[in-house]
Amino acid sequence: MNKFDGYHVMKGWQASEFANGKNTALIETYKKIIKEHQSRDIDLALDFGFGNGEMLQTIRNLGVQGIYGIEANTSLVHLANKNGYYAFKSVDEIPKEIHQKFDLIVAMHVMEHIDYDALRLIFTSLEGLLKPGGTVVAAFPNGESPFSNFAFNSDPTHINALTREKCRLLCQNTSIRLVSYKAFPSLGVLSNRFHTRLFAHARSFCEKIVYFILNKIIYGSEPVLLSPIALAVWIREEKS
């Protein structure tokens, strides 16, 4: 048994909720992220560390047919396969015939669970799966921000605090390049409730002011991201 085999129990996830989430704001936010960073059609997508399946659900809702997933938790792999996804416990199990054919790889709140050296090896594997021009999108507690302590320390399996520079170095010896490191969008902005949306917009506006002032006072001109959750995007370079 690995340390993640009981993770679904710790999180309180139910089998009936797998890839069937009711968090509309989260699903819509995931859709927005994918559409913003993946301009071409998606034939094959991989959800690395799919957890309770919200991103698998999102990708399916976008009409993608070839949806693969990687997850260390055996119970979740079984659930994904039962629900019509192609799920495996490691990248090495993905069939060789679809290597270098993935348009999109997503890793939502996964990378902070993985040792940095192991993560570098994983990025080498991801390079072998992505098409040239393919995209990797990941979200995680932002190691540059003092405001990410709650998100990072709330989960006992978090071991890796990622920053912009660490994300750049992850793919240093590959054809993958970091192209964006920014704040994860506010979920409340896409809520069905007017008051929730209003509050989310107001909070986002206030946060931007606070972060701008703190950046100027503490960091000067350094490009430091203070939002608690970061969204990083990498692209595999096109063949010349």
Is the pTM here over 0.85, yes or no? Answer: yes
- pLDDT at position 25, please? 86
**How remote is the C-alpha of 4 from its chain's centroid?**
18
Return the beta strands (E) in 56-196 as ranges. 66-70, 86-88, 102-108, 130-141, 176-183
CA-based nearest residue to 112, from 92, 75, 144, 139: 139
Domains of the chain: 7-187+223-236 (3.40.50.150)
- pLDDT over 90, % of the chain: 72
CA-based nearest residue to 54, from 19, 105, 29, 9: 19
> What does the pLDDT average to over 128-137?
96
- pLDDT at position 221, please? 65
Assess whether pLDDT exceeds 70 at residue 218.
Answer: yes
Assess whether pLDDT exceeds 90 at residue 175.
Answer: yes
- pLDDT at position 240, please? 57
Least confident of 34-43, 81-90, 227-236: 34-43
pLDDT band at 1 (very low <50, low <70, confident <90, very high): low
Assess whether pLDDT exceeds 90 at residue 187.
Answer: no
Question: Do 106 and 55 meet the contact criterion of CB atoms below 8 Å apart?
Answer: yes
CA dihedral 60→65→71→77, nearest 10 degrees, is 90
